[in-house]
Amino acid sequence: MQHSRRVFCGSLTPEDAGRRVTLAGWVDAFRDHGGVLFVHLRDRSGIVQIVFNPESTPDGVFHRASLLRAEYCIAVQGRVDRRLPGTENPGIETGSIEVFVDELEILSESEALPFTVSEKAMTAFGAGAKTDHVAEDLRLQYRYLDLRRPSMRDNIMARHAIFQRLRRLLDGKGFLEIETPVLTISTPEGARDYLVPSRVHPGNFYALPQSPQLFKQLLMIGGMERYFQFARCFRDEDLRPNRQPEFTQLDIEASFIDEEFIYQLVEELAVEMFALGGITLPRPFPRMSWNEAMEKTGSDRPDLRFGLLFEDVTSIFADTGYSIFRRILQGGGRIKGINIAGQSEKLSKNVLQNEYAKEIAPSFGARGMTWMRMEGGKLESNIVQFMSPREREGLVRQFRAVDGDVLIMVADTSPAVLASALGQLRLHLANRLGLIPADLYRPLWVTDFPLFEPAEGGGVTSSHHPFTAPDRTDFDPADRDELLTLRSRSYDLVMNGEELGGGSIRISDRNLQRRIFTALGLTEEEIQAKFGFFLRAFDFGVPPHGGIALGMDRTVSMILNTPSIREVIAFPKNRSAYCPLTGAPSTVRREQLAELGLLGAGKKEVLPGPADGEDEVERLSWVSRIRVLPGERREIEETLRRAEALARQAEERAGDEEPVFSPAPAANRLRDGGEARTPDPAAAEKLLKLSPSVKGNYYKVPGILD
């Protein structure tokens, strides 16, 4: 059989009737109907029905056809014919034709499948097979089978089409596609690096890039002017459900531009990408400063598909007699709220008081929640009696409340807790009440982020990275309070509450870049060790430049409306950053470790451990899955030393005696005080930042037993 003459199954149309064709692919489904064998043949392009009729198919071919099973790989030759009226199958694109086969070659057989691959019914009204019930790790273990499913195949092909469209658009605008190194130097970019030991330079390591940040800026200094790359990036981050340790971003950088250039370019790219998914994005995209986003939605990636925007009602209660509000205002706090318009019937008093005020709002970090509803032209709740007529009138006016509306308010002395709690309530209510339209896409530019954030133990850290240009240059790098007031020339592209990408105008002045490093507390030695090569390039005429990086896995997932980014990646890791297909990460041979100088010294060449200098604090951090902050290290080291001393003392006193398993009688150990109390939300929020994973405002830890 001449495979060079093969045509794709999905390319056949009724106009091909009478044509003799060669097809190849996999058996998707098989049906014996009264002696006539019907087979769905599937290749990358689609499915076509092939027929083995004992009246026209040679006996040997018919016998081999009777042995076919699901996922056999075969090649056939035959004649295309139109289906008889009433036998068409609208469930497949070639459902109006079929191919009568007279030649068959079984290229390879298949064992019993771990799960069903077929998704198409052989009859017009049959239900297609589903894989929703198949465990994801099983799908990932047999990813090569999973990729055969039409839905997965369509995702990968759509991803390809999106990437190709972007390549053509950027090429047409003068951008050059340039690869940057994958083995590079470790630089601080917000997450842990994946390190690669060097055999040639023992004791030294490469780092896999978290982003091509430094290299794309060097390309601008090198005069390339407009660069792009579908960059593979690697971040050893704490686990989250929709995050991968390796991912793809569309990296863009350009010289002699400002923010408007980036806005116009990326909006055009986004419109084209989403159009491939049948989604129309109106231009221009609205813009919102970071401060406004936090004030109105409590999030730096606001979802604007629905309302429920915050109203600040602090001034209304300036002279309030309501004791709870008065205490918070006296402590410098604020009061904000949301009008849940027309939802009074869905939010009963029991739901508002016992669910939201007592359970849901506190779980989001709020000390409490105040609610009231608008009925008969006036506000009603169990606290309205504590408010003056002026305060009630002010609330109605501020919230523009009418009958059927429900008002909720949160007060707190911490702006961060207030924004976070009310922001989470906003999303919770929108989901519960069905206020989020299913097929609406609302892009948004969030701009003017803070340049710095407070660091643990004093000082500041970069909100994005240390190469982002500030909104002004007349600042004192030693004045922490002033540094925290600086805004950056940065921007994020947000869609439906998800950040799709972010970027900034970069620093192009060497003196300004050094001042930023100084503000971050880096010494001259640290600057030279980490960025010396980069700063040296600043001595040779740096053009003004800026750029952006779009997360392509997340963007494609949103366009195709998949439940996870793993559905648009050919070979992803699972939620634990593990690959069920290959078993990575895995152990390696001792010979490999020895070549890399990773085996410990000594006769037994044991792996690094407590006996040969392993950092006990780092080991404790890893085993407990709790990150140790720099300010905590000394105290933990001292605690470990005391514990070791006690253990030695106990061992010396015990001598040859049997170990005592219960040195003290069992007893409950309770905290001081006999009354229940709610933990400080700010302290709880700080604790959760140390967790490798959070679920429902609780630590999420790896399972020990399944």
Structure-model confidence comparison of residues 676 and 570, the more confident one: 570
Q: Decide if 371 contacts 353 (C-beta within 8 A).
A: yes
Residue with the two structure tokens 């952006």:
548
Average pLDDT for 41-60? 95
Cβ neighbours around 257 below 10 Å, total: 19
240 assigned to some structural domain: no
Q: What per-residue confidence (pLDDT) applies to 592?
A: 87
Q: What per-residue confidence (pLDDT) applies to 3?
A: 77
Residue 345, exposed/middle/buried by CB under 10 A (0-12, 13-18, 19+)? exposed
Q: What per-residue confidence (pLDDT) applies to 674?
A: 64
SS3 call for 127: coil
- C-alpha dist (Å) from residue 255 to 221, 465, 489: 9, 19, 15
325 assigned to some structural domain: yes
Average model confidence (pLDDT) across the chain? 89
Tell me the three-class secondary structure of 622-662, residue by residue: HHHCCCCCHHHHHHHHHHHHHHHHHHHHHHHHHCCCCCCCC
pTM of the full structure: 0.81
Average pLDDT for 339-348? 94
Q: Decide if 236 contacts 207 (C-beta within 8 A).
A: no
470 assigned to some structural domain: no
Average pLDDT for 259-275? 98
pLDDT above 50 (res 158) = yes
Q: What per-residue confidence (pLDDT) applies to 648?
A: 84
Query: pLDDT exceeding 70 applies to what percent of the chain?
Result: 88
Q: What gap in Å lies between CA 80 and CA 50, rounded to an integer? A: 9
- C-alpha dist (Å) from residue 330 to 326, 336, 367, 369, 411: 6, 16, 16, 18, 12
Task: Give the helix/strand (H/E) hosting 237.
Answer: none
Q: What per-residue confidence (pLDDT) applies to 133?
A: 81
Lowest model confidence (mean pLDDT) among 293-297, 342-346, 542-546, 594-598: 594-598
Q: What gap in Å lies between CA 257 and CA 695, rounded to an integer? A: 42
pLDDT tens for each residue of 672-700 = 666 666 666 666 666 666 666 666 666 66
Residues 6+ apart with CB under 8 A from 597: 197, 199, 202, 203
pLDDT above 60 (res 335) = yes
441 assigned to some structural domain: no
DSSP state of 98: E
Q: Decide if 548 contacts 109 (C-beta within 8 A).
A: no
Structure tokens given for 594: 């020895």
Q: Which of 53, 81, 108 is the last residue of a domain?
A: 108
Q: What per-residue confidence (pLDDT) applies to 706?
A: 38
Residues 6+ apart with CB under 8 A from 245: 194, 234, 235, 236, 237, 573, 577
407 assigned to some structural domain: yes
SS3 call for 229: strand
Q: Decide if 76 contacts 104 (C-beta within 8 A).
A: yes
pLDDT above 90 (res 34) = no
Query: pLDDT exceeding 90 applies to what percent of the chain?
Result: 72
Q: Which of 436, 470, 497 is the last residue of a domain?
A: 436
Residues 6+ apart with CB under 8 A from 2: 22
Q: Which of 395, 421, 436 is the last residue of a domain?
A: 436
pLDDT above 80 (res 522) = yes
Instruction: Tally the residues of the chain.
Output: 706
Q: Decide if 413 contacts 328 (C-beta within 8 A).
A: yes
- Each residue of 516-546: b (16+ CB within 10 Å) or e? bbebbebeeeebeebbeebeebbeeebebbb
Q: What per-residue confidence (pLDDT) applies to 621?
A: 75
Average pLDDT for 314-319? 94
Q: What per-residue confidence (pLDDT) applies to 493?
A: 98
SS3 call for 597: coil
SS3 call for 312: strand
The CATH number of whichever domain residue 75 belongs to comes to 2.40.50.140
Task: Give the helix/strand (H/E) hosting 477.
Answer: none
pLDDT tier for residue 611 given thresholds of 50, 70 and 90: very low
The CATH number of whichever domain residue 311 belongs to comes to 3.30.1360.30
pLDDT above 90 (res 269) = yes
Q: What gap in Å lies between CA 21 and CA 6, rounded to an integer? A: 7
Cα-based torsion angle of the residue sequence 110, 116, 122, 123 in order, rounded to the nearest 10 degrees = 160
- The residue segments making up the domain with residue 429 are 306-436
**Cis-peptide into 284, omega within 30 deg:** yes
In degrees rounded to 5, what are phi and psi of residue 175?
-85, 140
The structural domain count of the chain equals: 3
550 assigned to some structural domain: no
Position 257, amino acid? I
Task: Choose among 518, 338, 549: nearest CA to 429.
Answer: 338
pLDDT above 50 (res 245) = yes
Q: What per-residue confidence (pLDDT) applies to 203?
A: 87
Task: Choose among 446, 467, 449, 514: nearest CA to 213.
Answer: 467
- C-alpha dist (Å) from residue 288 to 295, 491, 593: 11, 10, 52
Q: What per-residue confidence (pLDDT) applies to 683?
A: 66
Q: What gap in Å lies between CA 124 and CA 41, rounded to an integer? A: 16
For residue 226, list its beta bridge partners.
254
pLDDT above 80 (res 656) = no
pLDDT above 50 (res 705) = no
pLDDT above 60 (res 252) = yes
Q: What per-residue confidence (pLDDT) applies to 575?
A: 87
Average pLDDT for 616-631? 73
357 assigned to some structural domain: yes
pLDDT above 80 (res 255) = yes
pLDDT above 90 (res 626) = no
pLDDT tier for residue 612 given thresholds of 50, 70 and 90: very low
Maximum average pLDDT range among 263-277, 347-361, 661-675: 263-277
255 assigned to some structural domain: no
Structure tokens given for 392: 């009630």
Q: Decide if 361 contacts 410 (C-beta within 8 A).
A: yes
